[in-house]
Structure 1
Amino acid sequence: MHADAEKIEAFFSDTKAWPTELRALRAILLDCGLAEEFKWRGPCYTYDGGNVAIIWGFKENAALGFFRGVLLKDPEGLLVAPGDNSRAVRMFKFTGLDQITAIETTIRDYVREAIELEKAGAKVDLPKDDIVYPEELLAALEEDPELQEAFEALTPGRKRGYALHFAQPKQSATRVSRIEKSRDRILAGKGLQER
């Protein structure tokens, strides 16, 4: 069995959050012709190597996310952003298998549209990063050339994730602590959530 296949099977057999709903979403995605890979600690659905969709089992709901969700037409307004700072991803949220079954045709339509966007090479037009780096990060980068070089080499999304994470606490000492705790991860070129 391929390493990804083993991890995916383990994910579905071990998940305690919304297992029935996640399996139903998986069946739909695979039936729509997407390949299944293991990325970011869970199953990711791709077309010709490009990320199209991902499923999550959160505490409060199961979710089907689209990497370029902001480009989907979404005529019924069913998609939501996963968080306040999400710029491209949009997702469906489900709290029961009956909700998935009720809109399965719509889900399949969205998946087909997402595949067509991938085939067309569609890109989300993200404005230049509008994130203001906290003073503590700017000071750390200035004091540590190795950290600065590694931080600048990160992808825009990884930099954005760190900047938001570092800016969140009200206390300067907490911001400094978060930067220090993230140093090794940044030097390794990894994002905030990557192992």
Structure 2
Amino acid sequence: MTTSKTNPKVDEFLSEAKTWQEEYEKLRKIVLDCELTEEFKWMHPCYTLEGKNIVLMHGFKEYCALLFHKGALLKDAHGILVQQTENVQAARQIRFTNVQEIAEMEATLKAYIYEAIEVEKTGLEVNLKKHTEFAVPEEFQNKLDEMPSLKTAFEALTPGRQRAYLLYFAAPKQSKTRVARVEKYLPQILDGKGLKDCTCGQSQKMPSCDGSHKSI
């Protein structure tokens, strides 16, 4: 039986959801049964333990999912955790395509949530790869060498923002595309902003997300 207090912002989110509404409702009940605090972060329902993020609900075109913030530390006894992209280090998803699938997995989902809670209680942390371990694309390195001000501005960014830029610049197979990406974001780097920062300086999407600002 659900005993945790619901959040009005999540009520609104669910009432306005154009897809996955029934699936979200079922997932919400399952998570709340695990006595987590319901919050609304990154424009999605997020469930926390003493202020620490445990799991988040989000949806994409092909599926909806529970995203475990420290999913990489879970044992994954049933082999159902998904790494969104090879660059996502900590978070892992469990994906669903219909509400019946969620209902049939209820006991398993609760077991994973309880395990995630224990991981947080014990203070375990994912050993993240350092930003200095990521290669600097040649096209970006050339600009850093040409513009001392760019080098200074880039080094002043947080490690996470540096890592995001390096991964983004390195992704295209063609050099001309990498050059175009570098050129596009030079002003933003010089202005001290991250890859997905708004003009107000706030990040447009949550860490580990593989989607757009409007749909994480």
The 1-side partners of 2:99 and 2:170 are apart by 38
Tell me which moved more, 182-191 or 45-54. 182-191
Number of the residue aligned with 1:78 = 80
The answer to whether the 8 Å contact 1:71/1:124 transfers is yes
For normalisation by structure 2, the TM-score amounts to 0.76
Aligned partner of residue 11 in structure 1, secondary structure: helix
Q: Deviations over 1:9-66 (max 9, x none)?
A: 4432222231111221122222212222332232222111111111111111111111
Match for residue 168 of structure 2 among 154, 165, 170: 165
5 Å matches for 1:120-131?
120-129=122-131, 130-131=133-134
Aligned partner of residue 80 in structure 1, secondary structure: coil
Number of the residue aligned with 1:132 = 135
The answer to whether the 8 Å contact 2:84/2:93 transfers is yes
Query: Aligned AA for 1:76?
Result: H
5 Å matches for 1:8-47?
8-47=10-49
Distance verdict in 2 for CA 1:138–1:62, change over 3 Å: same
Of all paired residues, the percent bearing the same amino acid is 47
Q: Which runs of 5+ in 1 are unaligned?
A: none
Deviation at 1:143, TM superposition (A): 4.1
The answer to whether the 8 Å contact 1:60/1:95 transfers is yes
Aligned partner of residue 53 in structure 1, secondary structure: strand
Number of the residue aligned with 2:144 = 141
The 1-side partners of 2:109 and 2:187 are apart by 40
Q: Deviations over 1:45-88 (max 9, x none)?
A: 21111111111111111111111111111111111111222222
Q: Deviations over 1:78-115 (max 9, x none)?
A: 11111222222111110111111111011111111111
The 1-side partners of 2:161 and 2:111 are apart by 31
Deviation at 1:169, TM superposition (A): 1.6
Give the number of the structure whose residues are more often helix, by fraction: 1
Aligned partner of residue 179 in structure 2, secondary structure: helix
